[in-house]
Amino acid sequence: MKIKLSIILLVLSTSVSMAQNSAKAKTLLDEVYNKVKSYDNIFVDFKYSLNNEEANINTETRGDVTMQGDKYLFNYLGSKQIYDGKKVYTVVPENEEVTIEEKLDDENTITPSKMLTFYKQGHNYDWDILQNIQGRKIQFVKLTPIDTNSEIKSILLGIDVETKHIYKLIETGKNGTKTTITVNSFKIDQPLSKTLFTFDENKYKNDGYYIIRN
């Protein structure tokens, strides 16, 4: 009887500890979310790496994104993508092509405008390790998709304890692919041009670009 009681107490204490850690993780993520939403605009310069040892894939590149509300300007791999609140414009100078399409409403798609707030829904949260990175305390929170059919196994979100800004995202797929995004620069409330999120179709037509409408 004493053994059974000890097991029950151990299970209960473990469950309470897990619940407390989950609540602590959610509280931190709520602070990050509220901080992000309080800014008029955000500029993020980041490093992106993709690794899959089994497929012998190991790539690394950089990019940047400017966000204001749902609108964004995204520069990545030599291409530029603009979302003006209604349509998405993808400019590929290498091919001299522009693709114009309606906004994607797929809730599972992480667009640049969601990259700092995607964690708000659809995940379970766990408190993870605390690391000291170049003098900065980075607290990691582990996110596990609630949807068991998700191709994502888990996401580690590293948060700067002092600023409450996201510093690193490590996504591990069920196929063994690991995607890492590390923030090099995070700027807020910058003076922005009124036409930053405006697409000038005539400019690209005059430059000989082929316009594709989806």
Q: What is the pLDDT of residue 19?
A: 52
- What sign for the dihedral angle of Cα 23, 24, 26, 31? positive
**Residue 94 forms part of a structural domain:** no
* pLDDT, averaged in runs of 10, over the chain (214 residues): 51 46 89 93 94 88 93 93 94 96 66 79 92 95 92 94 94 92 95 96 94 91
3-state secondary structure of 134: coil
- Structurally, the chain folds into a number of domains equal to 1
Task: Tell me the residue range of the domain where 8 lies.
Answer: 2-69+111-199
Whether pTM > 0.75 for this model: the answer is: yes
Residue 118: CATH number of its domain: 2.50.20.10
Residue type, 119: Y
**Residue 212 forms part of a structural domain:** no
* CA separation for the pair 80, 90 (Å, rounded): 6
* CA separation for the pair 24, 205 (Å, rounded): 53
Q: What is the pLDDT of residue 165?
A: 94
**Residue 138 forms part of a structural domain:** yes
**Residue 206 forms part of a structural domain:** no
**Residue 145 forms part of a structural domain:** yes
**Residue 89 forms part of a structural domain:** no
Contact 211, 89 (CB under 8 A): no
**Residue 186 forms part of a structural domain:** yes
Q: What is the pLDDT of residue 109?
A: 55
**Residue 106 forms part of a structural domain:** no
